Structure 1
Amino acid sequence: MRTNGIVVGAMAAVLGVCSADAADLAYQPAVKAPIATAAESWTGWYGGVNLGGTWNGHQTVDTVSTAFPTAAGALPVNLADAAAAAATTSIPVKSDRFIGGGQLGWNFQFDRGWVAGLEADIQGVAGGGTGSAVTVVPLALAPVFNYQMTTTVTKRLDYLGTVRGRLGFLATPALLVYGTGGLAYGRVSTSTDLFSLTPAVTNGPIGASSSFAGTLAGWTAGGGFEWMFLRSWSAKAEYLYYDLGSHSSNFTLVQPHGGLVAFVNPVQSSTRFDGHIVRLGVNWHFN
């Protein structure tokens, strides 16, 4: 009987220990696995591509002419004044175009929620714009006749590049809201063609033209949003305004009359190369 009591006591002790261990296991607090975040840090180099649309800020090519008659031009009608008025126009140029290219940049995240950086990009622009107008001016000394001038203009942006600083804050660890601004440069071209045919008043058609193609530099500013949707990938939506400045070309409209020269009118054609860009982009972050 004594042996049985010892066995029963030992079994009870073992069961008690097992119950206590099971209870401890049952009430251990659950440990949550760490949540992976898309953006641990924005610091580092990145590169990517962009695509969007652009349209002109200054929508016209403007021509201005002044009358410069000769002695022959004053008789029998004042052709110089009529020609100067007909050559003075402001012609709209359609400007909506696609723009796309690539960018390379570097970010530095500081003070937890702020990101500063530098970005350079270059984009090609699809197509240009053309406009034309026909201006009819009555001749002052011969109102039965009209002086008619056809003006045709072109305006084009071939490519646009920028070098910009960026400064933004993190609305969330993965969403950057930023402003940006800096240098803009691009290759532009423009042309103006004048053509006039006034029967019974002139000795035939006359024409004059000017053209320019070259690289201009200016400034740009804008802002956007960039979302780090994966650890090394981000997508952005961005608006930029750019201004490359104005360009003017000077040329001369010469009108023969009766074997002489009726006038030698100076003409200036000018336009401003500025515009707006709305685009989307994707970046790969090397860090």
Structure 2
Amino acid sequence: MLKRLAPALIALVAGPALAADLPSTKAAPVFVPPVVAYDWTGLYIGADVGGAWAEGRYSSLPGSVSVNGDSILGGGFIGYNKQYGQFVLGLEGDVQGLGIDKTVGVLRVQQNLLAAINGRLGVAFDRILVYAIGGVGFSDTKFWNNGPSYTDSDVGFDIGGGVEYAYLPDWTLRAEYRYYDFGKTNKTTLAGANFGFEKTDNTVRVGVAYKFGVPAAIPVVAKY
């Protein structure tokens, strides 16, 4: 009886030990590519189109008169961004053409140009950039008061904000609002009467930009 059980007992005891000595056959590790974030750093150039709403106010004793107009707006811009973590700093210049020409009574206002040199501060959410923009604005506004023309203040400030989306590595789309204020210009008519003229602009525009030199992607370290 013992002779019959001996081989079975030996196999039961020695089996696990022999199996432990066999080479391991673990599955090969699965490669997971690193997640990368879009980098907004670089020089860019673009074009935009939209609308402009001008508000002018002529004031003299005994009251004031508003001369408001609107126009299609279009132009181009160029700038440079530098990304620091999630924040993006930039410098941008733009020139816009428009065709505001409005007459109220003996008053007339004409404007064909808007331009600006601005700083930009944005927060990047990968391919989406939410930004504020502001700086020095320029205009070519002229106004008439029953005869000769006068030049409005050509320099003021502008401020606004927008959203930009990188739909390709080197192409972006944007939507932006901008407010311009050129202050108050004080003049004297040929008859010797003093008057003032105040001018502001509100603009809304959409644009497309090309970013030169696609930089290397920034790796994002996944946390587990």
Is it true that 1:130 corresponds to 2:103 in the alignment?
yes
The count of residues paired between Structure 1 and Structure 2 equals 192
Query: Which residue of 118, 122, 132 maps to 1:179?
Result: 132
Which TM-score applies when normalising by structure 1? Answer: 0.60
2:15 corresponds in structure 1 to: none
Q: Does 1:216 align with 2:154?
A: yes
Which among 55, 58, 63 is matched to residue 61 of structure 1?
58
Aligned position for 1:105: 79
* Distance in 2 separating the partners of 1:125 and 1:116: 29
1:274 aligns with 2:212: no
Partner of 2:40: 42
RMSD between aligned residues: 2.5
Aligned AA (1:238): E
**Cα deviation, residue 130, structure 1:** 1.1
- Once residues 114 and 91 of structure 1 are traced to their aligned partners in structure 2, the CA distance between those partners, rounded to angstroms, is 44
Deviation at 1:243, TM superposition (A): 1.2
Matched, 1:244 2:182: yes
Distance 1:50 1:62 in 2: 34
Post-superposition shift, 1:92? 2.8
Opposite residue 173 of structure 1, the aligned amino acid is: D
CA distance, structure 1, for counterparts of residue 186 and residue 72 of structure 2: 26
CA shift, 1:210, in A, is 3.4
Match 1:95 to one of 53, 62, 69: 69
Question: Which residue is equivalent to 1:157?
Answer: 111
Higher helix share: 1
Q: Offset of 1:32 from its aligned partner?
A: 4.9
Unmatched segments (≥5 aa) in structure 1: 1-23, 65-87, 133-151, 194-208, 254-265
Q: Does 1:190 align with 2:163?
A: no
User: TM-score scaled to structure 2, two decimals?
Assistant: 0.76
In structure 2, how many angstroms separate the alpha carbons of the residues matched to 1:215 and 1:93?
Answer: 16
Q: State the AA in 2 paired with 1:62.
A: S
Residues of 2 paired with 1:157 and 1:235: CA distance? 27
State the distance in 2 between where 1:272 and 1:91 align.
11
Residue 22 of structure 2 aligns with which residue? none
Cα shift at 1:275: 1.6
Give the 3-state SS of the residue equivalent to 1:128 in structure 2: strand
Gaps of 5+ in 2: 1-24, 214-224
> 1:60 deviation in Å?
2.9
Q: Secondary structure at the match of 2:39?
A: coil
* Partner deviation per Cα, 1:211-262 (whole Å, 9 max, x = no partner): 2136611111111111111100001111111112222331255xxxxxxxxx
Percent of aligned positions that are identical = 31
Cα drift, residue 29 of structure 1: 5.4
Q: Which has the larger radius of gyration?
A: 1
**Hey, what does 1:115 align to over in structure 2?**
88
User: Could you tell me how far 1:59 is from its partner in structure 2?
Assistant: 3.9
Task: Work out whether residues 56 and 200 of structure 2, in 8 Å CA contact, stay in contact via their aligned partners in 1.
Answer: no
The verdict on how the C-alpha distance between 1:119 and 1:100 changes in structure 2, with shifts beyond 3 A counting, is: same
Contact in 1 for aligned 2:141/2:154 (Cα 8 Å): yes
